[in-house]
Structure 1
Amino acid sequence: MRVENLRCFKASRVSFADMLLRRIVRERWQIRMISAECDDDGAARFVYRIDAEGHSFSYIARAYPWDGIEKVGRRSDGADRDMFGALFVNLASQQRIQREFETFDIKAEGQMRTDSDVVGWTPANRSSRHFDAVVEALSRGEQPAPELGIAYLMRNGGFQSSGRNGTVSYPGIPEEHPLAHPFFADIFAIYLVRLVSIDLVNAVARRRNSDAAQLDIAIARGLGIGNSSGQGMCVALQRWPHWVATWVTVREAALGYAKSLPVEAGSIALVRSSIESTIRIYAQTDPQTQDYVAANETIIENLKRISASLREGQWHCWGDVAAHVAEVMDGETSEQFHSLLLDVVPDFCDAIAPYFQIGAGRKRQLQPAMRIGELREILRRNYVWALTADRTLAETHQHFWYHSIDNGEQRRGERIVDPHERFESFIDHIGLIQRLAAVLVSRDDNEHVGDVVLDHPDLHYAMSRVQYLDGLPYAEIRDPLAHRDFVPAELIRFFLASLGIRGSTPLSIRYVRGTFFQDQPLPSEILTPDRPSPQLRKHDNEVAL
């Protein structure tokens, strides 16, 4: 896949947040507040119990008094957060919960440690624009004014998990646990922060005025959790290329099937409904400020045109509509329409969803007995694009990534100019492949991969990468990420769309913000049998997998 295509991907029903939410609704997870303490300055302690698919586990949240300081929300903030939460693997005792609250109150990076009974911590920060405005309105007995355009009350500060601060590593989560699915723990933690943000404004308002209003459920449903992600996501995609292969393969398989179905009244109604929901999100999204992103207004207008053109009998199949959109509209509108098309085949999407776990479980392992001739053939078959890339000019590999101790995240440096090149994180896959090919030139076809590793230990990763990705479609990003002109935000947008972010807005070439779970069900709605949700009957041609 090329960056120019990946950057246009939009969240869909095969994004992780969407899949998790459908599972929560289908299996009727119960999320209940067990205890709550709150002061009028915003300090609070909440304890929740989750019952899901035969498992019960705890979540706790510790909010701190609002200090009036807008926090960036990066790892460099350390323990200086407006809220900390902990998601447990199982139910936690009162004594264990108290110990975790005491750990949060240390508020000193490097001194806060937990145990392996915790899946992860959920730091978060208040929105300086909206949190107080909502509390003040509720305290007056009113609902927040619609013109405020509130999309979220708190921002995600990352999910500190998988061994960090003493948390359990992901392989340590029991296989049968509902959070053992790739990214489900991360995404569910964000969903819980969303719940805390709503419960917190209600509690603070009630403390300030016993007659305060509580947030209307329709308004609460429209609130998500703000998120801002940086260029470290590019390193993650390069480190685990089978993720890209898995995510794109599932999406393209579902999209191909949706395109094959006829355009009929039932599917038209569903696509129009999905378009309307998507337009509402774009309308609430901050304006795009980067020239490499299509304006929200452009996509909204294009979606309206698409909706108006959908009439039974005008199009043979959805592939015809998609081809027309791709021909006359921009790439972002085209990919947004592709994402909406997946709503036409909900059963098919659910049927192939297990491949996410299968694909994520793929392991990179060196095959030392492989003949060099076979390895060379894999390079010719899969990496012509990398082998023929011109790296003569320095600009083709001008940048490098490194993990900054001071900032706690990946940063990008310029070779020669910046001093941290010796701490480089892997990003230059094209340079890696070309070095491997150059070394193999002098080796006999009948030699073994293990022989080369003994002479060149630094090529162990290159050879094992080429071997384990062989046969996987979409496994490599076919662009030079170390190039001077590469824009990290373009791949960040792809990653966030795969997670389920909607309405993403690049703040610069390095950071992208967006919102999780906006206009999605609340726990109280999940337990309501009559909660309306659009359904599409299975098409006569749709097969059960």
Structure 2
Amino acid sequence: MTTPATVHAALRGSNALPLRSPDQVMDLERLGSMHQSRLSFMRILVRRIMRERWQISIDHFDLDNQGYGTFIYKVKASHGVFSLVIFSNYLSDDERNDRVIATKWDLTMALVEGHVDPMYLDTLRQNVPKQESGRLDSRVFVLSRANRSARNFNYVVDQLSQGKQPAIEKITDVGYLYRTTAVYGSGKLGMADWEKVKNNWPDFERPFSAEMFVCFMIRNFSLFQAEHIARHMSPDTFQPMNLAIKRYFGIGNSTGLGMAPYLINHPVLINQWITMRELGLARVRTLGHIDHRVRRHFKELLLRCIQHTKETVTEDEWQTQNNATTVEELNSLQEDLNQRLDSWDQLIAWSETNCSLQTQELLVSVLLELYPELVDDLEDHHCAEEFLDLDPIMPVQHLKKLIERRYRWALEIDFTKEGSKETFWYRSEDKMEPRLGNVEREQGKNKQMALGVGYAVRKCYDQLCQYVNDNPEHTTARFMVSVPKVRGIVRRIQSMDRCTYGDIQGNLLDRNVLPMHLLRAKLAFFGVSKFDPRSKLWVRNTMFQGAPLLEDIGSTFSDDWFMPLSPKQ
């Protein structure tokens, strides 16, 4: 039986089935140019929900006319029953804060294994609204919170109460009623850890599927709550929301530096995610037949990408320019399309010569969208065992050649250049959240996180070269005894040689580093859209825009919500 592992091996050994090189794919700026695709976790989750026809119903309804109170969804998935417990509380506008230092939110919620009885509900009520300050047990495996959109929520409620529909242009500007500010899982705060979730609850065995499900449900609850309030505000004139408009609402997200270290600290897992995407692209480039239907679909997707990008609203000058460039380049491709569609290799080569990184990576997502039959089976292979192991008997000569071959990118960085080691990463004492510091202006470098992989490789290599000159016949074990501080980076170097991708090629210690690239890369794997950078340290975006609603489960599903467009009114 063919598996992604055997296909991967075949691809590496065959010129006919090329994978893009890690030097190209793992470049920090390119990773920060990625877009959602059909292999993103939200798309995978929705396909599963719709294919398996999960039964999601209201199990507990205790909301007042203003939408405040307690609400529980019962989730009957293929392999288990779960509860999403939501607490809705009044929050004044001056208390609403999306930053991690906030202590109050409009909504707080927990995803729980099994049915929630009154006694357990009371325990959750005492702890879930406190978020990080609360105490949870291992029945809980996701904790989250969300705030209302000040620009949209009350407006939508008022429109519905008057029997009107919200104006499409306002939704296009802000495509959500709530935005999440944190989604916690994987054993934090006493919750079930990832191993328990993966092994005991197969409905959520894929990476971040439980976290994405909570976001999906917050989006659905936000729409339910808005209609509930509007109905009670004016029962005689209330009209429910048009389904097309309803589907266009997503769930907002505010993401800061807390996400960035994950990509550095889980290189084996990131290698797996990237490999699946690159395998999908390699299959399309090699096996994707181009006929009249595919040409027509490709043109339709290009037009959709152009319009979606135009409808992306951001105040950030850098992102605005990137979006404008993407639209211009896609329009140019549209005008000259017949000359670019002899083969997908030709298209990729043209884009790499003529287009920005964001357009190049958007075209990758479009190609994956064209061939679900070549791509979708890869969704089952995003997990990986996170294990970095030492090979103590490796000759030091071999270790030196390994660094020169695999970490050439790190050796090419000039760490003597001014500003090349100016930034350090640390965790704040109050919230244990990642922060950036400046070595020249701030104290705390001795508490920095080990995210400067390139610099660590460089130091290890310099010490190793000296050691090899003096002891050319020694093993890695003897080198580490001589220089014990290199043990961690040596373990990473040796382990990552088993992977094609995984190590992000960039200097995260540079004064001009853009953490935004790290945030966007991970968010693209999640499946978000409409990136709106608020600084180089955090970004707003939209999740599940265009996705099916709960009421769509059980009906025909075409999985066609890639780059959703505003509905016509």
CA contact (8 A) 2:198 2:206 kept: no
- Match 1:466 to one of 472, 490, 493: 493
Change (3 A) 1:257 1:457: same
| Corresponding position: 1:430 with 2:461 | no
What CA distance in whole angstroms lies between the structure 2 residues aligned with 1:380 and 1:304? 42
Deviation at 1:292, TM superposition (A): 6.2
Judge which range, 118-127 or 145-154, deviates more.
Answer: 145-154
Change (3 A) 1:377 1:206: same
Alignment deviations for residues 122-177 of structure 1 (CA, whole Å, 9 cap, x no partner): 11111111011111112222221223224000001211222222111111214252
What CA distance in whole angstroms lies between the structure 1 residues aligned with 2:64 and 2:127? 20
Name the residue aligned to 2:40: 15
CA contact (8 A) 1:179 1:185 kept: yes
SS of residue matched to 1:125: strand
CA contact (8 A) 1:191 1:517 kept: yes
Alignment deviations for residues 406-433 of structure 1 (CA, whole Å, 9 cap, x no partner): 3542111111311121210112112211
Name the residue aligned to 2:372: 346
Runs of 4+ residues deviating >4 angstroms: 307-311, 531-535
Percent identity over paired residues: 27
What CA distance in whole angstroms lies between the structure 2 residues aligned with 1:457 and 1:172? 34
What CA distance in whole angstroms lies between the structure 2 residues aligned with 1:91 and 1:447? 60
SS of residue matched to 2:38: coil
SS of residue matched to 2:419: helix
What CA distance in whole angstroms lies between the structure 1 residues aligned with 2:317 and 2:506? 21
| Corresponding position: 1:138 with 2:160 | yes
SS of residue matched to 1:153: strand
Change (3 A) 1:255 1:109: closer
Change (3 A) 1:40 1:355: same
What CA distance in whole angstroms lies between the structure 2 residues aligned with 1:456 and 1:422? 19
TM-score, structure 1 as length reference: 0.90
Name the residue aligned to 1:33: 58
CA contact (8 A) 1:270 1:534 kept: no
Question: 1:472-491 counterparts in 2 under 5 A?
Answer: 472-491=499-518
Name the residue aligned to 1:324: 350
Change (3 A) 1:16 1:314: closer
Change (3 A) 1:316 1:70: farther
- Match 2:546 to one of 502, 519, 533: 519
Deviation at 1:210, TM superposition (A): 2.8
- Match 1:403 to one of 427, 431, 442: 427
CA contact (8 A) 2:42 2:212 kept: yes
Name the residue aligned to 2:106: 82
- Match 1:153 to one of 146, 162, 177: 177
Question: 1:93-172 counterparts in 2 under 5 A?
Answer: 93-105=117-129, 107=130, 110=133, 112-149=134-171, 150-172=174-196
Name the residue aligned to 2:389: 365
CA contact (8 A) 1:287 1:296 kept: no
Letter in 2 for 1:432: A
Question: 1:192-211 counterparts in 2 under 5 A?
Answer: 192-211=217-236
Structure 2: tracts of 5 or more residues without a match:
1-25, 562-569
Name the residue aligned to 1:391: 415
| Corresponding position: 1:274 with 2:301 | yes
CA contact (8 A) 1:294 1:332 kept: no
| Corresponding position: 1:505 with 2:504 | no
Change (3 A) 1:327 1:346: same
CA contact (8 A) 2:206 2:380 kept: no
Name the residue aligned to 1:538: none
Name the residue aligned to 2:3: none
Name the residue aligned to 1:439: 463
CA contact (8 A) 1:401 1:427 kept: yes
Letter in 2 for 1:405: E
Deviation at 1:484, TM superposition (A): 1.3
Deviation at 1:533, TM superposition (A): 4.9
Question: Number of paired residues?
Answer: 528
SS of residue matched to 2:500: coil
Alignment deviations for residues 200-258 of structure 1 (CA, whole Å, 9 cap, x no partner): 11122223233422222211100111112123333221112223322222212211222
Alignment deviations for residues 256-299 of structure 1 (CA, whole Å, 9 cap, x no partner): 22233343221123323433443443233213523366443443
Change (3 A) 1:343 1:428: same
Letter in 2 for 1:254: G
What CA distance in whole angstroms lies between the structure 2 residues aligned with 1:50 and 1:365? 40
TM-score, structure 2 as length reference: 0.87
Deviation at 1:46, TM superposition (A): 1.2
Name the residue aligned to 1:414: 438
CA contact (8 A) 1:151 1:284 kept: no
CA contact (8 A) 2:162 2:239 kept: yes
- Match 2:292 to one of 247, 258, 265: 265
Deviation at 1:95, TM superposition (A): 2.6
| Corresponding position: 1:249 with 2:275 | yes
- Match 1:46 to one of 71, 75, 88: 71
Name the residue aligned to 1:222: 248
SS of residue matched to 2:192: coil
SS of residue matched to 2:467: coil
What CA distance in whole angstroms lies between the structure 2 residues aligned with 1:364 and 1:108? 32
Name the residue aligned to 2:7: none
| Larger helix percent | 2
Structure 1: tracts of 5 or more residues without a match:
536-545
Judge which range, 492-501 or 270-279, deviates more.
Answer: 270-279
What CA distance in whole angstroms lies between the structure 2 residues aligned with 1:243 and 1:171? 14
Change (3 A) 1:356 1:304: same
- Match 1:283 to one of 295, 302, 310: 310
Judge which range, 171-180 or 511-520, deviates more.
Answer: 171-180
